[in-house]
Amino acid sequence: MNNGTKVTIGIGALFLLAGIGLTFLGGNNAAGIEDFDVKEDRVWSGNSGIYVHEISDDVVLIFVSDDVRCDEFDMRISREDGEDSKVKYNHDDCTSDGSMPAGYTDDPAGWYHMGAISGLEQGVSYNITTSDEFSAVSEDLIIEILEGFFGAIFGIGGGVGCICCGVVILIIGGIMAVTSGGNKSQTQIEITPSVEVDSNKEEEVEEYDKEEKKWYEDDSP
């Protein structure tokens, strides 16, 4: 297995692990949405009376039982000490027949989100007059839950995408490993032909030279 194949398989494994981690975190955030419960998370509950605002959030969402008609619910709020305040209750729009709030489709089971109280000040007591029993939930908590929901969607989507990429890269790495394994390097041996010298021919040449030399010397004056 060459270095390129090892790197490819390593990248695929990292994508696969990252995808599993993102999917797991996204699943945990999604589980947090199901844990929301009006009764458990409310800061106020009851009928008309005096309520002390003890949290820093200046907005609370008002929930009532789903057997309360939207067009019949009424709420009024003012500071107990009578001082001027920007606090007010804002009622949501109702459906055409007035039975439910317009956004009832995303309300928790058994509850209607009827409206919201804004302009609250921490540590101040408020006098509330209402037609029906209500529960108030911090807006910051709802925003946190919604952020967790969208985070879960992106986390799970990104996790699945990483897992798919990781699997594809691992398959490519496996193919590279198989193909590279069959191409083994071959060692070539080059044989240089040797030249043999005939000793008998060398002797004949030497004798011929001697005879030529002797002939030459005999004819000289």
Whole-number pLDDT of residue 84? 85
What is the β-pairing status of strands 111-118 and 88-91? antiparallel
Whole-number pLDDT of residue 124? 94
Whole-number pLDDT of residue 213? 53
Residue 204 has pLDDT above 80, yes or no: no
Give me the mean pLDDT over the 45-70 stretch: 92
Residue 196 has pLDDT above 60, yes or no: no
Give me the mean pLDDT over the 130-155 stretch: 77
Whole-number pLDDT of residue 130? 94
Whole-number pLDDT of residue 75? 95
> Across 28-37, 85-94, 156-165, 169-178, which has the greatest mean pLDDT?
85-94
Whole-number pLDDT of residue 128? 94
What single-letter amino acid sits at 92?
A: D
- Determine phi and psi for 75, rounding to 5 degrees: -145, 140
Whole-number pLDDT of residue 215? 46
**Residue, of 74 and 179, whose pLDDT is higher:** 74
Report how far residue 146's alpha carbon sits from residue 130's, in angstroms, rounded to the nearest whole number: 28
Residue 43 has pLDDT above 80, yes or no: yes
What's the whole-model pTM score? 0.56
What single-letter amino acid sits at 108?
A: P
In the chain, % of residues over pLDDT 90: 33
- Sheet with 42-46: list strands edge to edge: 42-46, 134-138, 60-65, 111-118, 88-91
Whole-number pLDDT of residue 199? 53
Residue 86 has pLDDT above 70, yes or no: yes
pLDDT band at 129 (very low <50, low <70, confident <90, very high): very high
